[in-house]
Structure 1
Amino acid sequence: MEYLRTRVMLVGLIFALLTPFWAFMDWLLLPSRPTDFLFVRLFGFAGLLACVWLALQGHQRIRLVYVLSGLVFMLPASFYAYMLLSSDSAGHYVVLGYGFIPFLLVATLSIFPFTLLESAVVGGALIGLQILASIRADTWMTAKGMQDLWLLIALLVVALTANYFHLGLLLRLYRQATHDALTGLMNRGALNQQLTQRIWEDGLHVLMIDLDHFKQINDTHGHSVGDDVLARAAGLFKAHLEPQDLAARYGGEEFTLILAGRTDEQALELARQLLGKVQAQVLHNHDRQPFQITASIGLAACAAGQDAEKALRLADMRLYQAKRGGRNQIVATG
């Protein structure tokens, strides 16, 4: 979303800065200088600036950013279509002076992380715009018209291909930067970002979970067995979470769960379930000998509007109280 938002601001600003230059060329070269062109031009200019400003303010507002990304393409394309449909005497000038707009927008499409379907819809609209331009310039079904249309389609195919690999690379980089490779859970940095940026309307509960005596598992059975223990624990935690909850590997053998929309009793009950599930797991070393583990849990609540980071620190403090108190227990007060 942040990647898309920055592209909206950049492209919207570029088109807005080009608008005065295009208006000067209209004034200089258009034979009749239609007054409505200036009004439409000002409307497009204001719309682009509004897109840039709204995108600048649009942190964590994914729907708004998607709408703005569409408007960044729609405003220049709509202006071009209006000029083609409304200017009889200046039709050839419009095609010659602005005929690059469909090609520019298709090229711009390659830097936006849209899905292939979204990109295809935008590309199809731009192909329709190019056909309209050919009709207005009396080049439709001529060699030049077919050449321009073929060039736009070829450019669209290249843009869609670049978009596909671009989006795939972006998603892989995002996951590598925000998720732990071993467990598949979010890492500490991604969790902290979610806590500070996400709006928790119903408050939240924080569970800090530490696998007891984990260093002994590595020393006794080897790091590969320890890795398996971490992955199994992560899978157990994820299986008990709701879609709105968050889970992270906070560091080493320590995990953090963020529970949304729970009462204090529900959060405590889930902590008890997880404590029992961890202890009930039967794990095996390389010699297929079974062993079991336990966990310590610190629990803290955060009401709506309160500092989630404070709740995180409180849960961490209670986790260490549980470890100092003998481990394999939950501390939810104090």
Structure 2
Amino acid sequence: MLSVVFAIFAPLWIPMDYLLLESEDIGVIAFYRFSLFAAMITLLFINNVRKRNLQHSLFCLTLLIAFPAIFYTASLFQLVHSNTSLIGYSFIPFLLVAILSVFPLTILESVVLGACLILTLLYNDFFAGTLFSLEGFKDLWLISTLLIIALWANQAQLHMLLRLYRQATRDPLTGLLNRRVMMERLSELTEHWESNSTRPPVSVLMLDLDRFKRINDTHGHLTGDKVLQSFSQIMKEELRNSDILTRYGGEEFAAILPGTTIDNAMKAAERIRARCEQAWVTSKDNEPVRFTTSIGAGELKVGEDVSEVLQRVDNSLYEAKKTGRNKVIQAC
């Protein structure tokens, strides 16, 4: 959207240039303005045709700041020795710093982009001979103040977005990913897996707390919450940071293990089962409450979609529950 604004207003200022600039500068500045217009239209095209990710967005933002900064520098080089007013030009670095506050950037990203704009301003002040003047000091003070405000706005936006993202993707009780995110991640993994000639192993675990309803009915939901939290902590400790851990629903959990064979997945599942067998939480009456888990495990097969692998693993989990609970069964 900002690229559209720059693209529109860059040529719209040309009539003012005819009124304010000397005749020998008008053609050159008009060329610069149409070049900025073309650059912004190109940026709009780049932003819309490519698949967006964090790196792509940061690249487009850098260009959004760089194109007007280059226009500003080129225009000042052309106009610095003329006697015309620089209305419509001298404010550009301050505008670009203010634009930074619109985006939820990290401190490092904001400081790097802001420092580049400050250096651009200082370089042009030096070229114009105003760097060590009162005017140059005023410009430096103003742009530094705007950058500090932009940094504060960046961090406020970033923290708000991260908080909203966590609320949208995490289970509030256990801190694990929710089912929707797991399904998206598993779909991405299967698509990448099918297109990868080497096809590294991907295993899936489905875990269910045994007789969890009885725990809630006997000891209350607060104790049940403690069990869920304790179980999720065991999963975090026994599995890797790269594994995708999910509260699938109620007392049912799931884990996606990229790069893990079924044999290693079975070993990890057995570690979790054994830990649960020894674990306990304290009830509201200070009584120890023990819990166990049943686990189904399976490895992604060629040509298998998300629903099929989950169904296979869920069937093995059901088999574990049906044949006595507190066990790990491998999916067929």
Rounded Cα–Cα distance in structure 2 between residues aligned with 1:313 and 1:33: 72
Number of the residue aligned with 2:251: 253
**Greater shift in the superposed pair: 138-147 or 69-78:** 138-147
Query: Aligned ranges for residues 127-166 of structure 1 at < 5 Å?
Result: 127-135=118-126, 139-166=130-157
Measure, in 1, the Cα distance between the counterparts of 2:304 and 2:319.
Answer: 23
The Cα offsets for residues 78-130 of structure 1, whole Å up to 9 and x where unpaired, read as 2212222355555855x422222212211111121211122122112222222
Post-superposition CA distance 1:26-49 (Å, at most 9, x none): 577542247665665555445434
Q: Write the distance in 1 (CA, Å) between the matches of 2:278 and 2:212.
A: 16
Secondary structure in 2 matching 1:96: coil
Q: Which among 41, 51, 68 is matched to residue 76 of structure 1? A: 68
Q: Secondary structure at the match of 2:203?
A: strand
Contact 2:238 2:271 in 1 (8 A): no
SS at 2:162 equivalent: helix
Q: Which residue of 1 aligns with 2:280?
A: 282
SS at match of 1:209: strand
Offset of 1:275 from its aligned partner?
A: 1.9
1:210 corresponds to which residue? Answer: 208
Q: 1:224 aligns with which of 222, 225, 235?
A: 222
Change over 3 Å in CA distance of 1:50–1:326 after alignment to 2? farther
Spell out, residue by residue over 1:142-170, the C-alpha distance to the aligned partner (whole angstroms, 9 max, x if none): 44443333222222221111112221122
Amino acid at match of 2:326: N
Q: Which amino acid in the other structure matches residue 101 of structure 2?
A: S
Counterpart of 1:121 (choices 112, 117, 121) is 112
CA apart distance, 1:264: 2.1
Q: Secondary structure at the match of 1:156?
A: helix
Residues 28-81 of structure 1: CA distance to partner in whole angstroms, max 9, x if unpaired? 754224766566555544543444344335546333332222222122212212
1:189 maps to which of 159, 175, 180: 180
Provide the rounded CA distance (Å) in 2 between the counterparts of 1:240 and 1:57.
42
Residue 166 of structure 2, aligned match among 165, 175, 179:
175
Conserved? CA contact 1:204–1:304, under 8 Å: no
CA contact (8 A) 1:110 1:163 kept: yes
Q: Percent identity?
A: 39
Question: Aligned residue for 1:108?
Answer: 99
Deviates more, 1:253-262 or 1:120-129: 120-129
1:48 aligns with 2:28: no
Instruction: Please say if residues 99 and 133 of structure 1, whose CA atoms lie closer than 8 Å, have aligned partners that are also in contact.
Output: no
Residues 257, 24 of structure 1: alpha-carbon distance in 2 compared, 3 angstrom cutoff: farther
CA distance 1:91–1:301, shift in 2 (3 Å):
farther
**Is the 1:203–1:304 Cα contact (8 Å) retained in structure 2?**
no
Give the paired residue count. 324
- Equivalent AA in structure 2 for residue 65 of structure 1: S
Q: For each residue in 1:276-322, what CA deviation from the matched residue of structure 2 results, as whole angstroms up to 9, or x when unmatched? A: 22222233323343342121222233257853344234433433343
**SS in structure 1 at match of 2:87:** helix
Tell me if structure 1 keeps the 8 A contact 2:277–2:292.
Answer: yes
Aligned counterparts of 2:165 and 2:49: Cα–Cα separation in 1: 22
Shift, 1:141, TM fit: 4.0
Cα gap change, 1:13 to 1:306, in 2 (>3 Å)? farther
- Contact kept, 8 Å, 1:302 with 1:311, in 2: the verdict is yes
Q: Return the match for 1:296 from 291, 294, 297.
A: 294
Gaps of 5+ in 2: none
Taking only aligned residues, the RMSD between alpha carbons, in angstroms, comes to 3.0
2:239 is paired with a residue whose SS is coil
TM-score by length of 1: 0.83
How far apart in 1 are the matches of 2:304 and 2:213? 36
User: Secondary structure, in 3 states, of the residue corresponding to 1:98?
Assistant: coil
Answer yes or no: is the 8 Å Cα contact 2:207–2:252 preserved in 1: yes
1:98 maps to 2:89: yes
CA 1:267–1:100: 2 relative to 1, 3 Å: same
Letter in 2 for 1:276: A
Give the corresponding residue for 1:5: none
Equivalent-residue separation in structure 2 for 1:303 and 1:41 (angstroms): 57
Residue 9 of structure 2 is aligned to residue 18 of structure 1: yes
Tell me, yes or no, if structure 1 residue 32 matches structure 2 residue 24: yes
- In structure 2, do the counterparts of structure 1 residues 197 and 74 end up closer, same or farther at CA, with 3 Å as the change threshold? farther
**Is 1:268–2:266 an aligned residue pair?**
yes
Structure 1 gap ranges (5+): 1-9
Deviation at 1:233, TM superposition (A): 0.7
